[in-house]
Amino acid sequence: MSYMTQMEAARKGIFTKEMEIVLKEESISKKDLMEKMAQGKIVIPANKNHKSLSPKGIGEGLKTKINVNLGVSEDCCDQELELEKVMNSIKLGADAIMDLSTFGDTRGFRRKLADMSPAALGTVPMYDAVAKYGKDIASMTVEDLFKVVEEHCEDGMDFLTIHAGLNLTCVERLQKNNRLTKIVSRGGSILYEWMIKNNKENPFYEHYDRLLDICRKYDVTLSLGDGLRPGSLKDATDAPQIQELIILGELTKAAWEKDVQVMIEGPGHVPLNEIATNMQLEKKLCHGAPFYVLGPIVTDIAPGYDHITSAIGGAIAASNGADFLCYVTPAEHLRLPTAEDVKEGIIASKIAAHVGDIAKGIKGAIDWDHAMSEARGTLNWQKMFDLCIDREKAIEYRRSVIESSKGEACTMCGDLCPIKRCNEIA
């Protein structure tokens, strides 16, 4: 076929094999899918070089998707452990995996992921630039940075987080507005340092057309990063964050002119009462582009439990239009997550996404809940286990007390189980 990207195909009325796969998993019509892809309101991250991909749609009218972050660092460099996390994430139903590796053979690791992962793959090339060229950030050239971007596209990454909106105007806003946590985005802070030390514009902003040409060549979805996302409740929805969001909206329209698919990344730490406003601002300022949020985390005081704080925020965000949730694990702010941390984060994020889908009225979402309620209403334990979002944990809890249970009910109510009594009366 002559088309270059999924967006261009939709605009030309070409129904791709990726669209066909997405359509089978969603309740949207073929017409709506193609129209919203043509408008930029739905994306299908699908790099032409990612041969093992089972594509997913992200955007308006589709089920809320979840992403898993992982990768090695200089302090914890065990690629085999990270590959184990990848496999577990796929089994648990992650829709996408972001490799945030900053040390070692990062390219070899990316290529392994592309060979094995049916989930969409994302990276932040700026991280890899530091790993590739060393820690002297200011000495990296524009050519250095774009070489890394092209390598990630060649390696089959389906979406790239690029903090192209963190330009000199945003830097000025940041310097005029005192923040508690300044910049908490790794990619954003690296670019900020590069800009300040070199006294130059963000290279990804200044040479944005070059970036778009690379993304178009491989049909890589551009995930416009939120370099100034709030890292504390006090900094939420402040001038630097909104200034960057305005720039991201302008960059979105420029990408669409070249048929490049775009997602917008969002906060971050946000008070519960500001989440809906943040969702509305993004949809308005970024013209309905899919919104990809980290959490949001709704309180700053719960290290060790941030999978819960983010699930609360994620459910509210999804119900108000967020399309893609980045999981947060119990290890957030504390350490590289273990395999168990990853599982806890995925389950929490999947719960939030499902809650959001029910609230958004995604067709069929609540049917799962109705089936579980029907099984509970008949004390059909096997069916309940089969319907659980974490089947293994539910079975483990039930089996841990099965010998002390005197009947069909759980050990909380025992013979006073209201469902059991009502069934016997009926």
The reply to whether 333 sits in an annotated binding site is yes
Numbered ranges of CATH 3.20.20.540 in the chain: 6-360
Confidence band of 1 (pLDDT split at 50, 70, 90): very low
| Cα distance between residue 245 and residue 267, in whole Å | 11
Residue 77: predicted pLDDT: 75
Q: Is position 410 annotated in a ligand binding site?
A: yes
Percent of the chain past pLDDT 70, that is, above it, reads 98
Q: Which residues contact 96 (CB under 8 A, 6 or more apart)?
A: 45, 56, 65, 66, 67, 68, 119, 120, 121, 122, 158, 159, 324
Contact 353, 63 (CB under 8 A): yes
The C-alpha atoms of residue 285 and residue 54 are separated, in whole angstroms, by 31
Rounded to an integer, the average pLDDT of 135-152 is: 94
Give the pLDDT score at 320: 98
134 has binding-site annotation: no
pLDDT (average), residues 138-145: 96
SS3 66: strand
Q: Find out whether 227 is annotated in a ligand binding site.
A: yes
Q: What is the mean pLDDT of residues 314-321?
A: 98
Q: Can you give the pLDDT at residue 374?
A: 97
The CATH number for 6-360, chosen from 3.20.20.80, 3.40.1440.60, 3.40.50.300, 3.20.20.540, is 3.20.20.540
d(CA 85, CA 163): 26
Confidence of residue 190 (pLDDT cuts 50, 70, 90): very high
What pLDDT score does 111 carry?
95
pLDDT digits (tens, 9 = 90+) for 42-100: 999 999 999 999 999 999 999 999 999 998 877 777 888 999 999 999 999 999 999 99
To the question of whether residue 354 is assigned a binding role by annotation, the answer is no
**288 annotated to bind ligand:** no
The token duo for 32 is 């709506």
Asked whether the predicted pLDDT for residue 340 surpasses 80, the reply is yes
- Residue 185 is assigned to a ligand binding site: yes
Average pLDDT over the chain, rounded to whole?
94
What average pLDDT does range 341-354 have in this prediction?
A: 98
Confidence category of residue 404, pLDDT binned at 50, 70, 90: low
pLDDT of residue 78: 80
Determine whether the annotation assigns residue 344 to a binding site. no
User: Over 80: is that where the pLDDT of 403 sits?
Assistant: no
Is 187 annotated among the ligand-binding residues? yes
- Give mean pLDDT, residues 203-231: 98
422 known ligand binder: no
356 is known to lie in a ligand binding site: no
Has 205 been labeled as part of a binding site? Answer: no
319 marked as part of a ligand binding site:
no
